[in-house]
Amino acid sequence: MRAVRWGAWPLPRYNRRVNGSETTRLLDAARAGDRVALEDLYTRHQGRLLQVIRARMPAHLARRVAPEDVLQETLLESSRKIDAFEPRGPSSFYRWLVAIARFKLSEAARAQRADKRARERPLEQPVLAEQTSASGRAMRGEQRLELHAALAALPERQAEAVRLRYLEGRTLAETAAALEASEPAVKALVSRGLMALATRAPPGA
């Protein structure tokens, strides 16, 4: 089977055969900073991981969140923490990815519930965001500045797609309309942009 290029949706139903010793070799290289090895690792596991995400995603969440978005957030999160990963057997890397994906699904479900509560809250009740501490707001502000700086290093179309989807929270359809592009093209732009951000992120960031 041909290797899958990042951002080429839909993802394959099956990955290339995952060899334990090859995974270990690639993992060692990725933890040492080899981004090509990291991308190869993800290419080998992403199809199976996407199947797990689709199987575990509740129907009500699937109507609001694309499984591919959860996959990309999972890979991005794992790229930030890969230097802290400790292999415990040939399948431990895949199990680690699944654990992160399950956390991301739970996170998305919590966000959906919070959004629903916010819409149902009477107008006279204070909004939760207004109760956030000044230090918390400052931290989020710093994170947004760092993200904006990272986006500046991406190709313009990729950066704009990521900004619209993740900073402005627009839907896939809204992002496609803003960019005057098809939804598959936007998925590809976002996927490549997130992968580029992941490979630029310093270990432990």
Angle between helices 20-31 and 35-56 (to 10 degrees): 120
Buried b (16+ CB within 10 A) or exposed e, 8-23: ebebbeebbeeeeeeb
Residue 54 and residue 71: Cα distance in Å, rounded? Answer: 10
- 23-52 tens-digit pLDDT: 888 888 888 888 898 889 898 899 999 999
Please give the torsion angle defined by the CA atoms of residues 131, 105, 71 and 79, in that order, rounded to the nearest 10 degrees: 60
Residue 100 and residue 46: Cα distance in Å, rounded? Answer: 13
What is the pLDDT, as a whole number, of residue 49? 93
Residue 105 and residue 57: Cα distance in Å, rounded? Answer: 7
- How much is the average pLDDT of 105-117? 79
3-17, 58-72, 186-200: least confident range: 3-17
What is the pLDDT, as a whole number, of residue 99? 92
DSSP 2: P
- Per-chain mean pLDDT for the chain: 75
Main-chain dihedrals φ then ψ at residue 51, nearest 5 degrees? -60, -40
Amino acid residing at 177:
A
DSSP H stretches of helix in the chain: 20-31, 35-56, 59-62, 67-81, 92-120, 134-151, 156-162, 172-179, 183-200
What is the pLDDT, as a whole number, of residue 10? 37
Q: Count of CB atoms within 10 A of residue 120's CB? A: 7
Instruction: Answer whether residue 178 shows pLDDT above 60.
Output: yes
CB 2 within 8 A of CB 13: no
Distances (CA, A) of 96 to 35, 63, 123, 205: 19, 26, 42, 18
- 143-167 tens-digit pLDDT: 566 676 777 778 888 888 888 887 7
- How much is the average pLDDT of 95-115? 85
Residue 111 and residue 65: Cα distance in Å, rounded? Answer: 11
Domains and CATH numbers, the chain: 1-118 (1.10.1740.10), 142-205 (1.10.10.10)
